[in-house]
Every structure is written in C-alpha cells, then in structure tokens.
C-alpha cells in the first residue's frame, strides 16, 4: 500500500508541533500519539480532510509496515496503530499519562477518541523492541536538536519536491543519526556510507527508485 503524501505531510505537521511542545515544556513524550482529532484541527485540516486522514490511518494500521532496516534476520519496521483510547492533552497537543501528571492542572482528558501511534519495532531473534516514534525524535532532539529538525525538514522536502536533492538530504541526515553512540548498541551493523545505507534499508531503496 502506498502512503498518501497528504497524510504524510499532515503527520509531519503534527509531529513537529508535538516536538516543539515537548522541548518547550521539557517533557520526554514517552508514548504520545502522533495524531488526534483535536491536533488535526489545530493544523488546519477540514472535516473532510480529517475523515480522509483517519481512513488512511485505519488502512495503514491494518496491513502496512515499512522496513527501515534489515540485516540478516534482524528487522526494524515502522508500524502504525490506530486506537480508540483515553487522550491526555494540553490544548491541542496530545501527551502521555506521565507528562499529563507533570503538567498538572494544565492537562485535560478526553475519555475516548481516535489516536494514531507510530512505532519503530525491532525484531531480533526471539525478542522485540518497540519504541514510540515521537519519543525517538524527542530523544534525538535531546542529543542533537538541530539534527532532529533537519531530519523532519528533509522528509518535508522529499514529499514536496520528490527530487534527488531531497533524497540525498534525507540519506545524509540518517547517516548522521546512525553516528549517535546509542544506535550502535542496538543495530548489529551500521551502514558506513550511502551505498551501505541503501543496502540495509529496503524502504530507502524503494524511495530511490521512484
């Protein structure tokens, strides 16, 4: 299934807004959703666009996974989970339970609503590693704030322009992320250059062919 560009751009708008809020309030955002109805409204989506977004999210959560990294039998995938859950939020920004406690009276609760979560799921032999996508970009911002926003901007550029320069910027930012010391503790083999990055990432190879 091909991921709709409008869906990707809206998700990036949401992720950027959440990340800036996490930085401003010094929150960890361990398990925040990437999209809620309130957040989609705040980035300017119409009612029709919201319905289209949730329909695409539902389709992705049922069948789609993006293989980000593969080395032998070890895989790291991007997965989508659409849930109807209790939502914690500060104005339009969704947060998790722990950050809601930190925000105190400024945090409000919606008893039930649509929430889309994005996870990076690693399969290593008989073990699974599951990390929230918002939390990962937040951890990157703690390590290298400029790199976190460069990564987001390179994805925007690739979506909007779909050219070689956008792809190269994305690849270069990913190579920079792979140099973060903690990554070497997780991945069994790190790509050393652009060619190895393509070799280990089925998703990047697919993008390169478009």
pLDDT at 23 (0 to 100): 98
pLDDT at 205 (0 to 100): 92
Q: How confident is the model at residue 138 (pLDDT cuts 50, 70, 90)?
A: very high
Q: Is the dihedral of CA 56, 45, 132, 167 positive or negative?
A: positive
Residues 92, 41 contacting (CB under 8 angstroms) = yes
| 130-139, 144-153, 154-163, 183-192: least confident range | 154-163
pLDDT at 1 (0 to 100): 60
Q: Tell me the per-residue pLDDT of 11-20, one tens digit each, with 9 for 90 and over.
A: 999 999 999 9
Domain count, the chain: 1
Q: Tell me the mean pLDDT in the region 143-147.
A: 96
HEC profile of the chain: CCCCHHHHHHHHHHHHHHHHHHHHHCCCCCCCCCEEHHHHHHCCCCHHHHHHHHHHHHHHHHHCEEEEEEECCEEEEEEEEEEEEEEEEECCEEECHHHHHHHHHHCEEEEEEEEEEEEEEEEECCEEEEEEHHHHHHHHHHHCHHHHHHHHHHHHHHHHHCCHHHHHHHHHHHHHHCCCHHHHCCCCCCCCCHHHHHHHCHHHHHHHHC
pLDDT at 208 (0 to 100): 85
Q: Tell me the per-residue pLDDT of 95-129, one tens digit each, with 9 for 90 and over.
A: 999 999 999 999 999 999 999 999 999 998 889 99
Pairing between β-strand 35-36 and β-strand 127-132 as defined by DSSP bridges: unpaired
Residues 78, 118 contacting (CB under 8 angstroms) = yes
Q: How confident is the model at residue 35 (pLDDT cuts 50, 70, 90)?
A: very high
Range of the domain at 143: 5-209
Q: Tell me the per-residue pLDDT of 148-157, one tens digit each, with 9 for 90 and over.
A: 999 999 999 9
Q: Tell me the per-residue pLDDT of 38-93, one tens digit each, with 9 for 90 and over.
A: 999 999 999 999 999 999 999 999 877 799 999 999 999 999 999 999 999 999 99
Q: Tell me the per-residue pLDDT of 174-188, one tens digit each, with 9 for 90 and over.
A: 999 999 999 988 999
């Amino acid at each position: 299934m091909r991921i709709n560009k409008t869906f990707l751009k809206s998700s990036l708008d949401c992720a950027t807004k959440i990340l800036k809020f996490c930085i401003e309030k010094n929150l960890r955002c361990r398990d925040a959703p990437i999209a809620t109805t309130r957040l989609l409204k705040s980035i300017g989506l119409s009612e029709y666009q919201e319905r289209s977004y949730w329909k695409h999210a539902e389709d992705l959560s049922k069948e789609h996974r993006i293989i980000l990294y593969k080395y032998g039998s070890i895989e790291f995938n991007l997965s989508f989970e659409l849930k109807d859950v209790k939502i914690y939020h500060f104005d339009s920004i969704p947060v998790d339970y722990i950050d809601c406690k930190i925000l105190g009276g400024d945090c409000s609760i919606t008893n039930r609503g649509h929430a889309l979560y994005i996870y990076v799921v690693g399969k290593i032999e008989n073990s699974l590693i599951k990390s929230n996508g918002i939390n990962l970009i937040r951890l990157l911002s703690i390590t290298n704030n400029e790199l976190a926003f460069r990564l987001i901007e390179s994805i925007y550029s690739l979506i909007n322009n779909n050219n070689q320069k956008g792809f190269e910027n994305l690849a270069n930012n990913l190579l920079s992320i792979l140099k973060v010391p903690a990554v070497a503790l997780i991945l069994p083999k790190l790509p050393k250059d652009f060619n190895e990055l393509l070799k280990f990432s089925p998703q990047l190879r697919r993008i390169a062919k478009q």
